[in-house]
Amino acid sequence: MSATIKDVASAAGVSFKTVSRVFNGEANVREATREKVEAAARELNFTLNTAARNLRRRGSNLIALIISNPSRSYIDNIQIGAMDWCSRNGFHLVVEDILARPESFEDLIKSGEMAGVILIPPMSDDPDILSALTSHHIPFVRIAPETDNDIAPSVRIDDRAAAREMTQKLIALGHRRIGLITGPNNFGVSRNRRAGYSIALQGAGLEYDAELVREGAFSYATGQSCTAQLLDLAHPPTAIFASNDDMAAGAIAESYKRGIAVPHKLTIVGYDDVAVASVISPPLTTVRQPLKDMAARAAELLLERIRDRDSAPKHDVLPHSLILRASHGPRT
């Protein structure tokens, strides 16, 4: 059906090995020969057969992004960054939801079909997943793991510092009772962000009040419900720090429902700086993490590992920043 390397070879009057050389950019092909081969290939509309190449090379041009994360907007950004990198580097991105059907993930890694795997929270910290990947010798990279280690490279922002800075900002605004809506506890980032929050409180001589800390699930709905709980407190907070923007959006909605104006009566800030942050009203003050860049960088580090499996894993920390929009204000 489709032309093979041998068809091109005989059309160009060279051996099929020479055609292989041309298509792999190998050295030592005379310019005239190269052109002959390229012309013949164009003529026959030839492309290398990936299955054959993968079989022979024991390689692959596929990178898997494993998801399960409840926050679609987070995934969207990561996926866009990864897809973009892949298309620039001769790879394609396979997206696999590990919650939907774990067996499918098993197959994926056992079959050796993937050149490498990108993990996002909470998979970045899931021991079963990490050991499955390790035992099958699949190169992988972790985005935002709780802590670095020697088994795989990672890309992150300094969540602890970012959460500390945002909390300090709220304290500087005069807030003394600051609610924290965390992500689920199996997310390393949740723990790191809570740690940053604690450190800031401690630095300001404020007491950590467990009542003010609620565990959400990174969803709009849990942002609402946690906010409801916080506002129902005998001494409700004057500021709420949600660990992602979806939950912050839910928090704002809950406040409005109760007739509590944001930011005049209540300050609400988020985390991530995804699309929703600039679109809701009021626009959200939030921690920006460069998710697309993080994903692209992760893919880059993954490729280094694929190329040289014994290289020491690199750990990149990308810069975060506080985006001060309109959902924060001084304590009133």
Partner DNA sequence: ATTATTTATGACAGCGCTGTCACGAATTTG
Partner DNA sequence: CAAATTCGTGACAGCGCTGTCATAAATAAT
Q: Which of the residues 271 through 290 are near a second copy (CB under 8 A)?
A: 275, 279, 281
By a kind-dependent CB cut-off of 5 to 8 A, residue 157 interacts, out of a second copy, DNA, none, with none
Q: Is 137 in the site for DNA (CB under 7 A)?
A: no
Q: Is 260 in the site for a second copy (CB under 8 A)?
A: no
Name the residue type at position 134: T
Q: Which of the residues 84 through 123 are near a second copy (CB under 8 A)?
A: 84, 86-88, 90, 92-97, 100-101, 103-104, 107-108, 110-113
Token pair recorded at residue 266: 């209540």
CA distances from 10 to 31, 39, 126, 247 (A): 18, 12, 53, 63
What is the nearest approach in angstroms of a second copy to the Cβ of residue 252?
9
Distance CA 123, CA 128 (A): 9
Q: Based on CB atoms, which residue is closest to DNA, 44 or 132?
A: 44
Token pair recorded at residue 84: 């973009």
CA distances from 274 to 124, 140, 145, 183 (A): 20, 25, 20, 16
Residue 24's Cβ-side half-sphere holds a number of Cα atoms within 13 Å equal to 14
User: Contact at 8 Å (CB) between 187 and 156?
Assistant: no
What is the nearest approach in angstroms of DNA to the Cβ of residue 10?
10
Q: Based on CB atoms, which residue is closest to a second copy, 28 or 45?
A: 45
Would you tell me how many other CB atoms lie within 10 Å of the CB of residue 134? 12
Phi, psi of 45, deg, nearest 5 = 55, 50
**Contact with DNA (CB under 7 A): which of 39, 42, 43, 55?**
55
Contacting positions for a second copy (CB under 8 A): 1-2, 45, 47-52, 54-55, 58, 60-62, 64, 72-73, 76, 79-80, 83-84, 86-88, 90, 92-97, 100-101, 103-104, 107-108, 110-113, 137, 220, 249-250, 253, 256, 275, 279, 281
